[in-house]
Structure 1
Amino acid sequence: MAERIFGHIPNVYEGDNFENRLTLSHSKVHRPTQAGISGSQKEGADSIVLSGGYEDDQDLGDVIIYTGHGGRDPDSKKQVANQILSDKNLALAINCQNGLPVRVIRGASHKSQFSPEFGYRYDGLYKVVKYWKKKGKSGFNVWLFRLEKIDTDKSLGFEVKEDAPEYAKTTRTTVIQQRINRDYSLTIRVKEIYNFHCQVCNTKLFTNAGFYAEAAHIKPLGEPHHGPDTLDNLLCLCPNHHVMFDFGGFMIDDDFTLVGLDGKLTVKPEHQINKDFLRYHREHFTI
């Protein structure tokens, strides 16, 4: 099976159109030629297609309430059975837990003002911010996922749009692509090294989608820090200590002693942390 890619596909840009599901699959933007969710319950979901399949979907543009997979009659398009949190649904839940982006593609058959007039259109990256179960319009339980557009203008410098002076009297703009191609496999790797335990407090959080931890960059990505997306620049932290670390609540000495907290950072032999990044964090994020 081909390696699953989380994030943008090289040489494919937001707004690109595709004639049908076959060309969409060949482009690697969304590999399945029929299924609406591309993913697995072990890895997460890399892409979804909005094609008008589920009655409980809501498309608000930058926010999508996406109905999970299963329980639908293929002819009437109505729910006839309860959905469960497994398979493709669990894949989307894993995205939420692990901060993995999902590519969103809208099809012409999707009843929304944001849909293309024909074929399919790649509409960029979204994050799964929450998910929940409720009784749908047909009276059966469905799993709903709230997807929010990743603002590529403001987050991590993925994309910068600037008005071109020579087009000042028209509606055209020049789009400069400045993507940071994050390697999301690294976020999974650092969590696996520590078996989802926080390196600071050893907490391991359990949710209905499995264990939860966060991958924290020591030297931040993007402007103005330009930290690398590498394993030696990552920590596995619980949410509390992630926030504290990002906002200078504690720092880490070169010998991994915690400053501002008691104790010492847990570091496994297979995780070589670059101490230059620790020094950068101490210099820039603590008072």
Structure 2
Amino acid sequence: MGHHFETRKEMMPSSFHRVWTSGIDGNGNEGTAAIVLSGGYSDDADYGDEIIYTGAGGNKDGKQISDQSWSQPGNAGLLTSMDQGLPVRVVRGHKHESERSPKSGYVYAGLYNVVDAWEEKGKEGFKICRFRLVFSDQNLEPKIAEPSLDYTKKPTERRTGTVLRIARDTEKSRQIKKLYAYQCQVCGTAIRTKSGFYAEGAHIKPVGRPHDGDDSVDNLLCLCPNHHVMFDKGMFAVADDYTLLGDAEGKLTVNSAHYINLENFSYHRITHGYD
């Protein structure tokens, strides 16, 4: 980490970054080996241990002129890296607007994991593919909160240490799982283990940056691991009347005591191309 390259061509002989003309070195079959932050996309955001990265396509001279597509090789590569847990080398260039960027040339920033992908309308009004990458040493630490069912919306804690960590209020997740007796709201499955039943609390609008969803019971679902992964990756969505869309059929089971903020479902549908 910290290795300096004068030009992008210097990265090619060692296969550090094999594509001279593209910021993404990768494809849907192999995943992405490396990306370069070069200031080419106005929607990018660099927080150091966390990067919000705009995918490839539809850009000319730093401005978006057409929609991006998930089938574009670079974008498909980042999706594969996310699905398979493959780390990505990140390189910052001198044209990238960040205090961490070099004054000249390019500097290796380390290994990052792709942890989220979604689509949104960019500053120029065109659809863009977005990715969230976190430094490979990042961990998520649970924070135990007070018991009892409550709908308060506490801001997500960000603790400064070696890396940036997001503390999630796991007690509210436990409340939702107990309310549904650990049965998935999509398929009704309750997974039996030696210590009881298992389910997962799934945020509808992600808590992490840049989505900044509330860690509240009105933003949580009780899902089995399969449907949790499918929901997070946009393989299905939920309409305002709880009808399941995409690769799931039927209606979401909703307990009368569980109020869900429908704006969160709308946000999820928009970011995954259902609206």
TM-score of the aligned structures, taking structure 2 as reference length: 0.50
Higher strand share: 2
